[in-house]
């Protein structure tokens, strides 16, 4: 469950999100292609004034609502994720994501699994208080009327989430940018959004502080680890049950449990019977659930890990309450987009650099369990 501190941050940011979403909704001619074209020293297209004005109005709404200027231009996550339809000229959008999670869930494995997203963080680190124990409830029998009873005081700790700058570069030829169609608009938005979120997912799993990244769940030594064997082992129903037990016994409860793994493991589990009787009751069935929990399958989960003599062939499985994984974005819920048509002008290439300041950390380590020696061959 979200604690009151996180709820307070979200409530403070809700006004900003409402203002930006209202601007997106009003300016239904928003076009990232027009924004890119306007920021080029020599535009590739004739300017669609109405679409450009609408797009700049959304950018101004980000700045005015949050109070922080972009190095390039703010492009809200909700604007990047909108579905498009061709309706003559300019482009007309027809869908607005209601929350940032809605906008990012389809392109992020971790957010799709239920990670908690916080936006609008101001300067400095994000400090989140957490109980040392998953619960602070104690019970006692009182000996008689008026008698004293021992009162336990819950102990708190602080989870510090530091901002890290993630920059994703996407390149397009001027010729391609001249293709002012709904497909091109959609392609640019998806390239930017998926490029950022895929790298964010990767770092959330295998990031290392030595590389100026947040520590990933699979690289931390303090996340409970389930061992399959000295040289790895094929995944079994018992392995998954051990992961569930580890989290349930260590975290005290599982509010929003789920599994996360890669396609190789999923294929193995779909062909592995739950029991050794040769039946067709496979571990991963058509409902895409494991032990009754939703399962997210993504190629960002590594399949080239080592265990003993099994070098570069082991996969990972993660189980946990992913709402305990905090993903925080500094600044408005937007990408800082910089358009550079000079660096590679000779090749007629336009560089788009999308930047976000983001931090990732688990609030409760016991909310997760990982297996890193799963053999799928």
Domains delineated in the chain: 220-326+365-375 (3.30.2320.10)
- Six-digit token pair at 309? 């003599």
Identify the pLDDT of residue 135: 52
Can you give the pTM of this predicted structure?
0.84
Closest CA to 95 of 84, 110, 111: 84
Find out whether 368 and 323 touch, Cβ atoms under 8 Å.
no
From first to last of the 377 residues of the chain, give the pLDDT tens digit: 456 666 766 776 777 777 777 877 776 788 899 999 999 998 988 888 888 998 999 898 888 888 889 999 999 998 888 764 333 333 333 344 457 888 898 899 999 999 999 988 888 888 887 765 555 556 777 777 766 665 655 566 788 899 999 999 999 999 998 876 778 888 999 999 999 999 999 999 999 987 788 899 999 999 999 999 999 999 999 999 999 999 999 876 788 899 999 999 999 999 999 877 666 789 999 888 999 999 999 999 999 999 999 999 999 999 999 999 999 999 888 999 999 999 999 999 999 999 999 999 998 899 999 999 999 98
pLDDT for 149 equals 61
pLDDT at 109: 95
Cβ atoms within 10 Å, residue 54 = 21
pLDDT of residue 98: 55
What's the N-to-C CA distance of the chain in angstroms? 38
- Which uninterrupted H or E stretch holds 299? none
Cα gap 329→122, rounded to integer Å: 9
245 Cα distance to chain centroid: 26
CA atoms within 13 A on the CB side of 78: 27
């Amino acid at each position: 469950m979200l604690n009151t501190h996180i709820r307070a941050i979200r409530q403070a940011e809700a006004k900003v999100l409402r203002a930006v979403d209202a601007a997106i909704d009003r300016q239904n001619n928003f076009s990232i292609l027009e924004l890119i074209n306007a920021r080029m020293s020599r535009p590739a297209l004739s300017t669609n004034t109405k679409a450009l004005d609408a797009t700049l109005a959304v950018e101004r709404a980000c700045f005015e609502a949050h109070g922080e200027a972009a190095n390039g231009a703010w492009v809200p996550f909700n604007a990047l994720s909108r579905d498009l339809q061709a309706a003559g000229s300019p482009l007309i959008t027809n869908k607005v994501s209601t929350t940032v999670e809605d906008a990012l869930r389809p392109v992020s494995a971790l957010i799709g699994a239920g990670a908690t997203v916080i936006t609008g963080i101001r300067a400095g680190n994000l400090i989140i208080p957490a109980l040392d124990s998953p619960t602070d409830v104690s019970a006692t029998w009182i000996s008689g009327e008026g008698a004293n009873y021992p009162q336990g005081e819950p102990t708190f700790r602080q989870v510090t989430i530091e901002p890290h700058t993630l920059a994703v570069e996407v390149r397009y030829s001027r010729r391609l940018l001249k293709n002012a169609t709904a497909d091109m608009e959609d392609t640019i938005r998806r390239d930017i959004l998926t490029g950022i979120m895929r790298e964010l997912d990767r770092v959330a799993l295998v990031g290392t502080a030595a590389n100026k990244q947040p520590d990933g769940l699979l690289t931390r030594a303090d996340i409970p680890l389930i061992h399959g064997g000295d040289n790895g082992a094929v995944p079994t129903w018992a392995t998954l049950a051990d992961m569930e037990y580890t989290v349930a016994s260590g975290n005290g409860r599982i509010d929003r449990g789920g599994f996360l793994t890669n396609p190789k493991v999923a294929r193995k589990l779909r062909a592995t019977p739950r029991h050794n009787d040769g039946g067709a009751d496979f571990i991963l069935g058509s409902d895409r659930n494991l032990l009754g929990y939703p399962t997210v399958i993504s190629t960002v989960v590594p399949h080239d890990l080592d265990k003993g003599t099994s070098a570069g062939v082991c996969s990972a499985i993660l189980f946990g309450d992913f709402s305990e994984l905090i993903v925080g974005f500094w600044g408005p819920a937007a990408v800082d987009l910089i358009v550079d048509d000079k660096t590679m002008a000779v090749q007629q290439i336009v560089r788009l650099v999308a930047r976000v300041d983001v931090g990732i950390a688990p609030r409760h380590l016991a909310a997760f369990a990982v297996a890193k020696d799963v053999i799928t061959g």
